[in-house]
Amino acid sequence: MATAKKKLVQWEPTDIKKELLSKYPAKVARKRAKQILINEALENTTPEIQANVRTIPGIITMRGCTYAGCKGVIMGPTRDVVNLVHGPIGCSFYAWLTRRNQTDAGENGENYMTYCFSTDMQDSDIIFGGEKKLAQAIQEVYDIFHPKAITVFATCPVGLIGDDIHNVARLKKEEFGDCNVFAFSCEGYKGVSQSAGHHIANNQIFTHIVGENDEVKEGEYKINLLGEYNIGGDGFEIDRVLRKCGIATISTFSGNSTYDQFASAHTADLSCVMCHRSINYVADMLETKYGIPWIKVNFISAKSTAKSLRKIAEYFGDQKLIDRVEEVIAEEMKAVDAAQKDVFPRTDGKTAMLFVGGSRAHHYQDLFAELGMKTLAAGYEFAHRDDYEGRQVIPNLKVDADSRNIEEIEVEADPTRYKPRKTEEELKALEDGGFEFKDYNGMLPDMEAGTFAIDDLNQFEAEKLVELMKPDIFCAGIKEKFSIQKLGVPMKQLHSYDSHGPYAGFKGAVNFYYEIDRLVNSKVWGYMKAPWQESPELSATYVWE
Amino acid sequence: MLLRHTPKEIKERSAVMINPAKTCQPIGAMYAALGIQGCLPHSHGSQGCCAYHRSALTRHYKEPISASTSSFTEGASVFGGQANLLQSIRNIFSVYEPEVIAVHTTCLSETIGDDLPQIFDKATKEGTIPEGKTVLGANTPSYVGSHVTGFSNMVKAMAALAEPTGKKNGKVNVIPGWVEPSDMEEIKRLAALVGADITLFPDTSGILNAPLTGEYSMFPKGGVTIAELKGCGDAIGTLALGEWCSADAARFLDSKYKVPCSVLDMPFGLKATDRFIDALRTVAGKVVPEEIAIERGQLVDLISDMHQYFYHKKVAIYGDPDQLIAMTEFLTSIDMCPVHIVTGTPGKKFEERIKEITKDSPFPVNVRAKGDMFLMHQWIKNDPVDLLIGNTYGKYISRDEDIPFVRWGFPILDRQGHQYFPTVGYKGGLRFLEKVLDALLSREDRDATEQKFELVY
C-alpha cells in the first residue's frame, strides 16, 4: 500500500541482463547484449551502447516508421498547412489526431489539424502510378481550402512504384503561385525507425520554408524553441513562462506552429533545443546558414525549467532579463515547492522505469528525482548514441547500411543573411564561464551506476524487467500500457500523458507530481485478488453473526 | 469551430479523401487473428503499420494488443521480405511461444509481391515451425477495400484451416463479423439458450476484455481453437453475419466442403435479431426457449414506451457496411429516419441495400459507399439532423453542429463500455436505444426553458 516499504531489488544487474537474454536465439542474444547496458558512467567516460540499428524481426518492438517521424511528429502539429498523405488510407487515418499536439488558432485562424487528407491509393494507382491522382488531389485541396502550403508525404508503396512526388509538387507550386507545395520522401521502410523521418522533415522544412520571411518580428530576446510539440499543452505552459520573462518566441518547431513561424525562424537570436533527437538537424543548419547559436534546454521539471531560463538569460547577458528571470522563478516556485512538499512523503523512495521515444526517457528523470524517485531503467525507441552518450561521440558514429540512404543536406553560410549573433570574444567569454553551446551530454551521465539503459526495448524485456525489478511505476506508450497494468504495476504514458498535462514548466511540474502521487498510491492495485483467492481453503464453518 | 474549413457548398472530388470513414486492411486482419486461441498476429511489412494498428486497437479496447512485425528495411523492400519473415517466425516461437502465428501483409509486401505460401513452405521444410504449431496467412493489401476487407480475408484464411473428416459433427459455424468482444459473448449466450452447439470464429471475447489479476498472459483464455477451426468443415451449416465481413469465409466452406451457408445481416436491432434466431433454430433443429421471447418482448415494450422520442427523428450515421445496414434497418423500424449514411468501404451493393431499407422514408436519403466524413458533414450542413451515430471521430461534427451523438462502431477512443456491454441481440438493442434516448433527452433537458423543464419523460 501507499506507505509500505518496497521490497529491495534482489537481483544483481548482471544477473538481470543475463535473464533478459536467456530466452533468445544466439544471434538475437548477441545483438541485444549490445543494446542492453548496465550504466557505469563515470566522470568523462560513458560506456558505449548500440543504438539506431535495425529492429529484430518478430521481437515485438515499440518502434514506428519514418512516415510517423516525419508527418506524425514534425509536420503534423503545424496548423495552417494541409498535410496530404500520398498512400493507401491507413497511414493518414492512424496519424489523425492521435498525437495530442494542442493547437490554438483563435476565432478565425486557419487550423487543419482536425482534418485528415489522403490520396487513398487504390490498386489501379499501384499498377499505373499515382502521380495524376496526387496532382488532382493537390488541386482539389487548393480549390476547397486555399491554404498557405500543401505538403505531400510518401508512404511505403510510393517509393516502390516510382511516383515522383517532388516533381508533382513543384509543378503545382509553380501553377498556383500563392501556395507553397513540397514533398517528403518519408516512405515507412526508410531508416530503421521514426528517426529517419525526423531527419527528412528537418531537411525539407529547412529547404522549403525557413528563410522565406525576412520581416523583423517585434520583441526582445528572440529565440526559437526547437523540438517542442505542445503535447497536452506543454508548449502553452513554456510560452507562458517565457512571455512572463520577456522572452519572445519567434518559432516553435512545431507545437501550435504556423507556416510563418518556420519562415521567420532565421530572424531569432538563439535556438533552444528541447527534443535533441528530432530537431538537432535544424538547429545545426540554422547556425551554419544564419549564424544562430543553439543550446540544449529542458523545460521538464521545475529545476530544469529554472536552469534553462537562467541559461537563456545568461546567453543574452542583459541584467534586466537576468533579474526578471530570477523574479519569475521565485514567484513560480512557490506553488511548485508547496506541491512537492505535499507529495514528497508519499513518493519518496519509490522507483520508476522510462521507455519513451527519443528524448523524454531522459528529461522525465528530473521530475522523478524531484519526487524522490529513482529511475531503475530507461531507454529510447529510436535515439542515436549521442542521445545516450552525449554529442562528443558524433564524430565516431558510423552510418550503417540501413540508414545510409537518408539524405544529408549540405548547408552553407547565407551570403547576405549570415550574421553571427555573438562575436568570437563574447562566445569565448561565455564558454570560459562554463556556458555550453551546441552541447548535449546525453542520458547516461545523469543515471546512477548499476541502472539500465536499454535501446529499442521489446515486449518480452519489458515484462521481464517489471517482474525482476518491480518498479513502482513504468512509463512508456499506449502499446505497453495495458500489459504492464495487468501485472499490477501502474503505467504512465509519457507520449500522450494519458489525456493529462501539461507536464512542462512550473505548472506542468505540479501536475506531474500529483499525477504520479495518484498513480503510485492508487487503491486499485490492492484489489487484484478476491477474498476467496487470498485464502482459498475453508478452515472452519462460517458462523453468522 | 473544430472543422471550420468545411464549406456548405459541395464540390465533387475525385482524388482527395478527407476525414475517411474507413481505414486499411491489416488492422482488420489483426483484430480477427486475436480471436484465435493462443495466436500472435504478425504484420509482414515495415513496422510502422504494426505499431499503428496495435495502437488503434489498444485505444479502442483499452487492452494489450500483441502483434509482431517483419520490420522491413529498405533492403528487404527492394529484394523481398522472405528472410525477415523466416527470422520473425523463429524469434516469435522462441521468445513468445504462441500456438499460432497469423500473418497478414501490408501495401509494402503486396507491392513487392512477397509470396506467403512459398515462405511458409520454406519455413516448414527448414523446421522453423515447431511441431504442433500453426502458421496461417492472409493477403491484405491496404490499397484494396478497407479494414473490413482485411477482417474478411483473415476470417477466410481461418476457414481455410478446415480439415473435414467427412462426418458431420452436429455443430453450426457462426461467423459474427467485426463486432465487439461483448457482442461475441452475447451471440454465444443466445446460441446456448437456443441450444445450438456453435463454433464462433473469430471470437475475441475473453481476450479483448480480460480481467486485471496481477498476472499478464499474452494469450488469455478465449478464442476459437485450431481444432475447432479444423472441424468447421464438418459443421451442419454456417451462419455468416454480414456480407462484407463474413460471407467469403462461409461461401468458401460451402463451395469447397459442402457446408451450406446462410448470409444474414448482423443481429443489430429487432428484425435482424429475429432473423438470426430464426435461422439458428432452423439449422440447429431446436426450439427457441421462452426466455428469448421475453427478451424480444422487452425490446418491443421499450420501443412502444418511448416511441414519441424516436418518431421521425433525422439521423446521420457512418461506419462499416454490415453494421450500417442492420442499424439503418433498426432505426427505420422504430420510425427514426436515417437521412445521411456513409461508409468508406467500397461496394455498390451497400447503396442498393440502404436505398431498399429506406425507400419509404418521408425524407430524401443520401447514401454513399466509398464516401468520407467530410462529405457527410457537408450533407448535414445542408440538411441538419437530430442525431449523429458513429465512431469517435464524429465528436468534432457533433460539437460544431451541436448534434446529440451516440458512439457506436469502430473506433471508439474516448468512452468505455463497448467492450463489456453488447449492442447485438435484443439485449443489445435495449442498451443501444437506452443510449439513443439518453442522448436525445439530455438534449431536451439542456435546451428546455425553465418553464418547460420536465421532471418526467
Q: DSSP characters for A495-537? A: SSGGG----BHHHHHHHHHHHHHHHHT-GGGG-SS-HHHHS-S
Cell of B132: 504442433
CA dihedral over A192, A198, A201, A207, signed as positive or negative: negative
Cβ neighbours around B169 below 10 Å, total: 16
CA distance A430 to A186: 39
Q: Which of A486, A188, A394, A313 is nearest to B112 (CA)?
A: A188
B225: distance to nearest CA of chain A, Å? 23
- Across the interface, do A123 and B4 touch by the CB < 8 Å criterion? no
Chain A residues with beta carbon closer than 8 angstroms to that of B85: 57
Among B13, B18, B40, B54, which would you mutate to test the A interface (most chain A Cβ atoms within 10 Å of its Cβ)? B18
For B26, name the nearest residue in chain A, comparing CA atoms only: A90
SS3 content of chain A, % helix, strand, coil (to 5): 45, 15, 40
- Across the interface, do B17 and A56 touch by the CB < 8 Å criterion? no
Average pLDDT (B420-445) is 98
For B75, name the nearest residue in chain A, comparing CA atoms only: A402
Q: What is the pLDDT along chain A (545 residues), one digit of tens a residue?
A: 344 445 555 789 999 999 999 999 999 999 999 999 999 866 667 789 999 999 999 999 999 999 999 999 999 999 999 999 999 999 999 999 999 999 999 999 999 999 999 999 999 999 999 999 999 999 999 999 999 999 999 999 999 999 999 999 999 999 999 999 999 999 999 999 999 999 999 999 999 999 999 999 999 999 999 999 999 999 999 999 999 999 999 999 999 999 999 999 999 999 999 999 999 999 999 999 999 999 999 999 999 999 999 999 999 999 999 999 999 999 999 999 999 999 999 999 999 999 999 999 999 999 999 999 999 999 999 999 999 999 999 999 999 999 999 999 999 999 999 999 999 999 999 999 999 999 999 999 999 999 999 999 999 999 999 999 999 999 999 999 999 999 999 999 999 999 999 999 999 999 999 999 999 999 999 999 999 998 877 666 666 65
Query: In sequence order, what are the beta bridge partners of A353?
Result: A377, A474
Nearest CB among A91, A117, A484 relative to B16 is that of A117
A279: distance to nearest CA of chain B, Å? 21
Chain B residues with beta carbon closer than 8 angstroms to that of A118: 16-18, 20
Query: In sequence order, what are the beta bridge partners of B198?
Result: B172
- Across the interface, do B344 and A89 touch by the CB < 8 Å criterion? yes
Residue in A29, A54, A99, A518 annotated catalytic: A99
Is the CB of B22 inside 8 Å of chain A's CB atoms?
Answer: yes
Cβ neighbours around B100 below 10 Å, total: 22
- Across the interface, do B20 and A122 touch by the CB < 8 Å criterion? no
Is the CB of A498 inside 8 Å of chain B's CB atoms?
Answer: no
Q: What's the Cα-to-Cα distance from B403 to each of B381, B398, B406, B442, rounded to whole Å?
A: 11, 5, 10, 11
Nearest CB among B2, B47, B96 relative to A114 is that of B2
- What DSSP letter does each residue of A204-272 carry, written as one string? HHHHHTTTS--PPPP-SSEEEEEEE--BTTHHHHHHHHHHHHT-EEEEEEETTB-HHHHHHGGG-SEEE
Cell of A83: 498535410
- Across the interface, do A90 and B374 touch by the CB < 8 Å criterion? no
What was the pLDDT predicted at A536? Answer: 77
Cell of A379: 531507454
In the residue annotation, A198 being an active-site residue is answered as yes
Locus of grid cell 556556458: A435
Query: In sequence order, what are the beta bridge partners of A475?
Result: A354, A492
In the residue annotation, A65 being an active-site residue is answered as yes
In the residue annotation, A170 being an active-site residue is answered as no
Per-residue pLDDT reduced to its tens digit, B348-399: 999 999 999 999 999 999 999 999 999 999 999 999 999 999 999 999 999 9
Locus of grid cell 466442403: B257
For B59, name the nearest residue in chain A, comparing CA atoms only: A478
CB B263 within 8 A of CB B243: yes
Beta strands A452-454; A36-38: pairing state: antiparallel
What was the pLDDT predicted at A544? Answer: 62
CA distance B279 to A524: 45
Average pLDDT (B75-101) is 97
- Provide the whole-model pTM: 0.97
What was the pLDDT predicted at A472? Answer: 98
CA distance A460 to A23: 9
- Across the interface, do B51 and A54 touch by the CB < 8 Å criterion? no
A108: distance to nearest CA of chain B, Å? 8
- Across the interface, do B55 and A98 touch by the CB < 8 Å criterion? yes
Half-sphere exposure of residue A170: CA atoms within 13 angstroms, side-chain side: 4
CA distance B236 to A260: 67
CB B2 within 8 A of CB A109: no
What was the pLDDT predicted at A1? Answer: 39
Q: What's the Cα-to-Cα distance from A399 to each of A53, A54, A347, A406, rounded to whole Å?
A: 9, 12, 42, 10
For B400, name the nearest residue in chain A, comparing CA atoms only: A114
Is the CB of A493 inside 8 Å of chain B's CB atoms?
Answer: no
Instruction: Kindly give, in sequence order, each residue whose CB lies less than 8 Å from that of residue B335, ignoring residues fewer than 6 positions away.
Output: B307, B310, B311, B312
For A530, name the nearest residue in chain B, comparing CA atoms only: B213
A89: distance to nearest CA of chain B, Å? 6
- Across the interface, do B16 and A145 touch by the CB < 8 Å criterion? no
For A53, name the nearest residue in chain B, comparing CA atoms only: B73
Mean pLDDT of chain B: 98
Q: What's the Cα-to-Cα distance from A186 to each of A170, A193, A194, B129, rounded to whole Å?
A: 17, 11, 10, 35
Residue A221 — left, alpha, or beta (φ > 0 → left; ψ -120 to 50 → alpha)?
Answer: left
Average pLDDT (B427-451) is 98
Half-sphere exposure of residue A392: CA atoms within 13 angstroms, side-chain side: 12
What was the pLDDT predicted at A11? Answer: 86
Residue B34: pLDDT over 50:
yes
Q: What's the Cα-to-Cα distance from B257 to each of A326, A519, B165, B166, rounded to whole Å?
A: 80, 55, 10, 9
Chain A residues with beta carbon closer than 8 angstroms to that of B143: 88, 121-123, 125-126, 157
Q: Which of B252, B200, B254 is nearest to B229 (CA)?
A: B200
- Across the interface, do A479 and B53 touch by the CB < 8 Å criterion? no
- Across the interface, do B106 and A156 touch by the CB < 8 Å criterion? yes
- DSSP reduced 3-state for B383: coil
CA distance B387 to B92: 47
Chain A residues with beta carbon closer than 8 angstroms to that of B52: 64, 68, 90-91, 94-95
Is the CB of B405 inside 8 Å of chain A's CB atoms?
Answer: no
CB B91 within 8 A of CB A25: yes
Q: How many CB pairs under 8 A join A and B?
A: 260
Sequence-separated contacts (24+) of A171-177 with Cβ below 8 Å: A171/A135, A172/A135, A172/A138, A172/A139, A172/A142, A176/A142
Q: What's the Cα-to-Cα distance from A80 to each of A17, A111, A360, B134, B393, rounded to whole Å?
A: 48, 5, 27, 50, 21
- Across the interface, do A90 and B52 touch by the CB < 8 Å criterion? yes
Which of 447-466 (A) contact B at CB < 8 A?
Answer: 459-460, 463
CB A413 within 8 A of CB A489: no
Predicted complex: ipTM over 0.95: yes
- What DSSP letter does each residue of B80-107 carry, written as one string? -SHHHHHHHHHHHHHHT--SEEEEEE-H
Query: In sequence order, what are the beta bridge partners of B387?
Result: B315
Is the CB of B12 inside 8 Å of chain A's CB atoms?
Answer: no
CA distance A361 to A363: 6
Locus of grid cell 521444410: B125
Cell of B89: 517466425
Is the CB of A50 inside 8 Å of chain B's CB atoms?
Answer: no
CA distance A381 to A462: 12
CA distance A298 to A180: 33
CA dihedral over B322, B327, B332, B337, signed as positive or negative: negative
- What DSSP letter does each residue of B121-141 carry, written as one string? HHHHHTT-S-TT-EEEEE---
Residue in A51, A68, A313, A361 annotated catalytic: A68
In the residue annotation, A32 being an active-site residue is answered as no
Beta strands B405-407; A81-86: pairing state: unpaired
**Count of positions (residues) in chain B:** 457
Cell of B169: 459433427
What was the pLDDT predicted at A2? Answer: 42
A427: distance to nearest CA of chain B, Å? 43
- DSSP reduced 3-state for B316: strand
- Phi, psi dihedral angles at A451 (to 5 degrees): -85, 170
Nearest CB among A94, A136, A191 relative to B56 is that of A94
The kind and range of the H/E element at B150 are: helix B147-159
Nearest CB among B5, B55, B216 relative to A463 is that of B216
- Phi, psi dihedral angles at B348 (to 5 degrees): -60, -35
- Across the interface, do B107 and A87 touch by the CB < 8 Å criterion? yes
- Across the interface, do B144 and A122 touch by the CB < 8 Å criterion? yes
Which of 109-138 (A) contact B at CB < 8 A?
Answer: 110-112, 114-123, 125-126, 133-134, 136-137
CA B275 to chain CA centroid, Å, is: 19
Among A478, A491, A495, which would you mutate to test the B interface (most chain B Cβ atoms within 10 Å of its Cβ)? A478
> Cis omega (within 30 of 0) on the bond before B202?
yes
Chain B residues with beta carbon closer than 8 angstroms to that of A405: 74
Cell of B293: 421471447
CA distance A183 to A84: 9
Q: Which residue type is seen at A312?
A: I
